[in-house]
């Protein structure tokens, strides 16, 4: 194999697409267009986003399908309208007609007060479920002060599988209503072999006053 041919082959993926490293500033001098699908675009693919504005809930009823084996939701400054509420979610197996899928979950967290008087770490029995069908809390209680919010992410694994349960993990940091920072880690599974095709987010009480949710698929 000649040097030119070998160098060209090293810049291809196993599926025949050009890797991002195949390009540099000089390589684009004479390019006017790149055919769709000819260049590898990376592992994380943006699907959609939603911005809350005094919203009772936010639903993602499209884009969650067999295209990807993993989906990630990112949450930017989820701000509640009501004080002392939890941000929560549930999944649907019928396109969003019902959100009552059976969940088994676990939850723990760590906190530190603003005035440095108290810290803590431990399991939280208030936020877990054992074969429950309620909305699953993703955060501990958040305040509704003008500067109070929660941010984090939720991973959903292989939601279209009709063989296995649907695992998920989440991680958040919360501006707690008692003026402390609280990290909350949750994990669990939807105990169903039906495909999860829609996800709904809401507060335990009141509206989602503001905040943005972004959905990505992982190749």
Q: Going from the N-terminus, what domains does the chain have, and what CATH number goes with each? A: 1-37 (no CATH), 44-218 (2.60.120)
DSSP the chain: --HHHHHHHHTB-TTSPBPGGG--TGGGTT-----TTSB---SEEEEEEEEEEEES-EEE-SS-STT-SEEEEEEEEEEESSSSB-EEEEEESSTTS-----EEEEEEEEEEETTSS-EEEEE-TTS--SSB-SPEE-SSPBP-STT--EEEEEEEE-TT-SSS-EEEEEEEEEEETTTEEEEEEEEEEE--SSPP-EEEEEESSS-EEEEEEEEEEE-
| Burial of 47 from C-beta contacts in 10 A (0-12 / 13-18 / 19+) | middle
Confidence band, pLDDT 50/70/90 cuts, at residue 13: confident
List, for residues 35-52, the tens digit of each pLDDT value: 655 555 569 999 999 999
Token output for 182: 């609280």
- Computed over every residue of the chain, the mean pLDDT equals 90
pTM: 0.81
| Residue 10 banded pLDDT, cuts 50, 70, 90 | confident
9 pLDDT more than 90: no
Q: Tell me, what's the pLDDT at 174?
A: 97
In whole angstroms, what is the distance from residue 174 CA to residue 2 CA? Answer: 58
pLDDT digits (tens, 9 = 90+) for 111-142: 999 999 999 999 999 899 999 999 999 999 99
203-213: average pLDDT? 98
* Strands of 103-113's sheet in order across: 44-55, 208-218, 70-80, 150-157, 166-176, 180-190, 103-113, 119-123
Does the pLDDT at position 16 exceed 70? no
Which tens digits make up the pLDDT trace of 41-100? 569 999 999 999 999 999 999 999 999 999 999 999 999 999 999 999 999 999 999 999
Six-digit token pair at 119? Answer: 């810290």
pLDDT band at 28 (very low <50, low <70, confident <90, very high): low
Task: Give the residue from 84, 79, 80 showing the smallest Cα distance to 177.
Answer: 84
């Amino acid at each position: 194999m000649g040097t030119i041919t070998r160098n060209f082959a090293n810049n291809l993926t196993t599926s025949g697409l050009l890797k991002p490293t195949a390009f540099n500033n000089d390589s684009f001098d004479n390019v006017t267009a790149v055919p769709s699908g000819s260049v590898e675009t990376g592992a994380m693919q943006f699907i959609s986003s939603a911005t809350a504005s005094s919203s009772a809930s936010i639903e993602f009823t499209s884009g969650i399908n067999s295209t990807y084996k993993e989906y990630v939701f990112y949450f930017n400054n989820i701000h509640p309208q009501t004080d002392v509420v939890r941000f929560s979610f549930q999944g649907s197996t019928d396109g969003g007609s019902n959100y009552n899928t059976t969940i088994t979950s676990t939850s723990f967290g760590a906190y530190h007060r603003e005035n440095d008087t108290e810290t803590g770490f431990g399991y939280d029995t208030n936020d877990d479920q054992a074969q429950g069908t309620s909305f699953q809390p993703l955060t501990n209680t958040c305040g509704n002060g003008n500067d109070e919010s929660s941010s984090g992410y939720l991973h959903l694994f292989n939601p279209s599988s009709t063989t296995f349960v649907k695992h998920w993990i989440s991680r958040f940091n919360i501006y707690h209503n008692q003026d402390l920072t609280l990290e909350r880690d949750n994990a669990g599974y939807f105990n169903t072999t039906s495909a999860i095709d829609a996800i709904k987010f809401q507060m335990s009480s009141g509206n989602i006053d503001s905040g943005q949710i972004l959905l990505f698929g992982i190749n």
